[in-house]
Structure 1
Amino acid sequence: AAHVGIRQELPTVVFSLEMSQIEVCQRILCSEARVDATNIRNGQLTADDWTRINRGVGKLGDAHIWIDDNPNTTVMEIRAKARRLKSRVGNLGVVIVDYLQLMTGRSNAESRQVEVSEISRGLKIMARELECPVIGVSQLSRGLESRQDKRPMLSDLRESGSIEQDADVVIFLYRDEYYNTDSPDIGMAEVIVAKHRNGPTGTIRLAWLPRYTRFADMSRAS
């Protein structure tokens, strides 16, 4: 969201069903200002932190980012809001939905799997209508916890195989240190491109900076 809304200066819409608008803004601010999130929560900020925060607030204030934190929303409501925003500000850079399994579907759906399938399909149609990328965040099945290699696979997408079918690109995040405290890859994350309809798949390694809730290029992580 920050990359598209701040650096590319394109209209960015975030539908956050899990976190509040304040929490999302705080995470973006920590990431952009590179201020320790714990220090912000505790109010223990240095003079340098305040300088960084003021600079970050300026960036965030000028950003083309809209955040909707209604926790009880449907695909139809998201489509309607995104279309209204597009008619007001022009073409959208990206729409982000966090996350799919918290969305409300048809009350008379045959099963939760069918409901999530309809939600996934609805987001696919919305991307075509809006002519912009739609990023849907998804939970993974707990089954991967029982495997020796816990890197996510397409079969781990929770509650619906149609998420895999509908998506043009499927990207997983994996941090070995989360499962193995003695991992040699401390501070590193794997970005696994498991599906790419029009391009190659593979794994990219990024630095993980938990203090700032930020991923960074390995060469520019400091």
Structure 2
Amino acid sequence: MNRGVDADKLRKGRLDGSDWAKLLEGADNIAKSHLIIEDTPGISIGEMRSKCRKMKLESNLGLIIIDYLQLMSGSGRSSDSRQQEISDISRALKQLARELEVPVVALSQLSRAVEKRDDHRPMLSDLRESGAIEQDADVVMFLYRDDYYNKDTDIPGVAEVIIAKQRNGPIGTVQMAWIAEQTKFADMARPQDGRNFG
């Protein structure tokens, strides 16, 4: 929960008194949020399913976030290609969401094709290692910042949230303010650092 602390000052350990107060307030909010971080390296989909089922029984599991899909391991069958393994993981996450009645947000890497195009905005075909991710997902969203690729952009500090797939609704693009110093996105109508984004 970003409280307006400059991320660079935090990384370099150069916080002043007001920064510390904001940081402690944010940490307190996170502590109250019942956030559980499971960071087993290369966790298999089977292990993930077991842990999530247990969490659902023991507490009020409200959301699962996978960071990121390609770091998970599949069934371990040696005959499976990595593409098949990612397809199996994607399908299993969809089944897990239905079984536990909990949304699953899975981050995914993109293929290098996006870097080779003139327009670097990601597309569904850029999802790495499997078309099953696109097929299984109810919603696919991409982030794009023109100033990342084009230093002379007409829209610095603006991020696009590209809704490329939405099973039960419209697709399109939403612009957000990108506040780099705080590694934070904000509503364009109400940026939280005082900048005016039109």
What is the TM-score normalised by the length of structure 1?
A: 0.83
Question: Conserved in 1, the CA contact under 8 Å of 2:46 and 2:75?
Answer: no
Larger radius of gyration: 2
Partner of 1:153: 123
Partner of 2:69: 100
Higher relative contact order (Cα pairs below 8 Å, separated by 6+ residues): 1
Partner of 1:188: 158
Question: Conserved in 2, the CA contact under 8 Å of 1:109 and 1:115?
Answer: no
Cα deviation, residue 212, structure 1: 1.6
- Distance of 2:11 and 2:151 partners within structure 1: 26
Q: Is 1:49 aligned to residue 14 of structure 2?
A: no
Cα deviation, residue 53, structure 1: 1.4
Cα deviation, residue 220, structure 1: 2.0
1:200 aligns with one of 157, 167, 170 = 170
- Distance of 1:201 and 1:53 partners within structure 2: 36
Identify unmatched segments of 5+ residues in structure 1: 1-27
- Distance of 1:105 and 1:197 partners within structure 2: 26
Cα deviation, residue 109, structure 1: 3.8
Q: Secondary structure at the match of 2:154?
A: coil
- Distance of 2:8 and 2:41 partners within structure 1: 25
- Distance of 1:132 and 1:106 partners within structure 2: 22
Cα deviation, residue 172, structure 1: 0.5
Partner of 1:171: 141
- Distance of 1:109 and 1:115 partners within structure 2: 10
Q: What is the correspondence of 1:1-222 to structure 2 with a 5 Å cutoff?
A: 28=1, 31=2, 33-90=3-60, 92-107=61-76, 108-221=78-191, 222=193
- Distance of 1:109 and 1:192 partners within structure 2: 36
Cα deviation, residue 216, structure 1: 0.7
The residue identity in structure 2 corresponding to 1:43 is G
Question: Conserved in 1, the CA contact under 8 Å of 2:177 and 2:186?
Answer: yes
The residue identity in structure 1 corresponding to 2:89 is I
Deviates more, 1:104-113 or 1:157-166: 104-113
Cα deviation, residue 110, structure 1: 2.7
Identify unmatched segments of 5+ residues in structure 2: 194-198
Cα deviation, residue 55, structure 1: 1.3
Q: CA RMSD in A?
A: 1.1
Give aligned-pair identity as a percent.
53
Question: Conserved in 1, the CA contact under 8 Å of 2:45 and 2:75?
Answer: no
- Distance of 1:95 and 1:39 partners within structure 2: 30
- Distance of 2:5 and 2:38 partners within structure 1: 24
Question: Conserved in 2, the CA contact under 8 Å of 1:114 and 1:160?
Answer: yes
The residue identity in structure 1 corresponding to 2:152 is D
The residue identity in structure 1 corresponding to 2:28 is G
Cα deviation, residue 58, structure 1: 1.5
- Distance of 1:97 and 1:115 partners within structure 2: 16
**Where has structure 1 moved over 4 Å in runs of 4 or more?**
none
Question: Conserved in 2, the CA contact under 8 Å of 1:75 and 1:119?
Answer: yes
